[in-house]
Every structure is written in structure tokens, then in C-alpha cells.
Amino acid sequence: MACQSLTLGSIDARCDASVGGIKRILLANRDDVTATIDPATKEISAITLATGKHFVEWKFRKNTGSYTSTATVDPTIGNSAVTTDVNLQFSRAENTKRLEIQTALNASAVVIVEDMYGQYIYLGLDNEVTITSAVMQSGTATSDLSGFTLTFQDVAEELPHFISEDVDVDGLLVATA
């Protein structure tokens, strides 16, 4: 990345409550998706899909999904990267979930994450998103998780971009004509 002069802005403190967690994720094959960034807002302003393609939706129980984006900067050699991990838990180990997870293990994906505020972030802009960990477990006690835990990972040049409110994210779940 070239050296550049930056103008920093301020961040106001807010007294609002902060709600964690994510609601759902949407997945598609990376080769089927094109995202456009608005140069003024730096948000994803348009998402287009190849003909006949669409995103699929993965839902999970409340309080069982999260994402974390971590910037790693090495000023000595001038490298920086952002790693975003999306951690999900799916209750009940069953074959239909196993088959979907197995397919996703082999995919080069784009992932859209909806947070608890109804905001969306886009993963897979610079590189494909992949599953880096998938665990199928029975648990030991009857109160233990019987199901799956997954980690999707995106490595990018910047923190994830938010998707503009003007983008019809739910419309991405329907195949394009």
C-alpha cells in the first residue's frame, strides 16, 4: 500500500446500549458475485449475481453467532492485513446440516453477515472466505451441545465494508433471471 496523507476525523461517544451477536449469514460462490464500493461512503453500494445464481441463508439460534475482525500491522516491513472470523454454532447434529457444511468446506465463498442492529457486512471482497474449522460433536451430558461449530475466515486489506441500506439484501436470496 502506498504511503499517503490522511485526514483523521473524530468519533463521538454514544450512550446507547451495545447489543452483540449476529442474526444470520448469507453465502454464495465467490465467482458468482460482484460487489461495487461507493468511493464517497466506502460502503458496498451494489451486489450483482451471475444469471441464475443466488445467496443461501444460514440461520442459527440467538447468542450462538459472532464475528471478530482483527487488524495486524507490521510497520517494520509495511505489511498489514485484517482477519475476520465468523463463529457459528448449530444445534442438533443431523445429516442435512452435515451435507450443507461439507459443501461449504469445499467452497470459495462470499459471506454477508447481518448483525443484531440489522446492519450487513460483506466478506470476500479481496479473497475467498473459507471454513477454517468445523466440529461435529455429540456432547457428553444431556445438556451439552449436540451439533456443529464452524469458523469462516476472511483475510482482507481493510476492515469489512458495510453494505448500503439501499442494497436489497433479501433480494439476493432469489435466483437472478
Contact in structure between 164 and 41 (CB atoms under 8 Å): yes
**Structural domain includes residue 175:** no
**Structural domain includes residue 145:** yes
Supply the mean pLDDT for the chain: 90
**Structural domain includes residue 14:** no
Query: Which of 87, 85, 91 lies closest to 136 in space, CA to CA?
Result: 91
Q: What percent of the chain has pLDDT over 90?
A: 76
Using DSSP's 3-state secondary structure scheme, residue 34 falls into: strand
**Structural domain includes residue 174:** no
Q: Is the pLDDT of residue 82 over 70?
A: yes
Query: Which of 148, 44, 163, 43 lies closest to 113 in space, CA to CA?
Result: 163
Q: Is the pLDDT of residue 161 over 70?
A: yes
**Structural domain includes residue 113:** yes
**Structural domain includes residue 54:** yes
**Structural domain includes residue 6:** no
Mean pLDDT on 157-170:
96
**Structural domain includes residue 2:** no
Kindly report the pTM of this predicted structure: 0.88
Distances (CA, A) of 143 to 59, 98, 161: 21, 21, 38
Quote the domain boundaries for residue 73.
22-165
What domain count does the chain have?
1
Q: Is the pLDDT of residue 1 over 50?
A: no
Distances (CA, A) of 68 to 6, 87, 152: 26, 8, 11
Contacts of 73 (CB under 8 A, 6+ apart): 79, 80
Q: Is the pLDDT of residue 3 over 80?
A: no
Mean pLDDT on 62-69:
94
CA distance 18 to 107: 33
Q: Is the pLDDT of residue 16 over 90?
A: no
- pLDDT greater at residue 127 or residue 17: 127
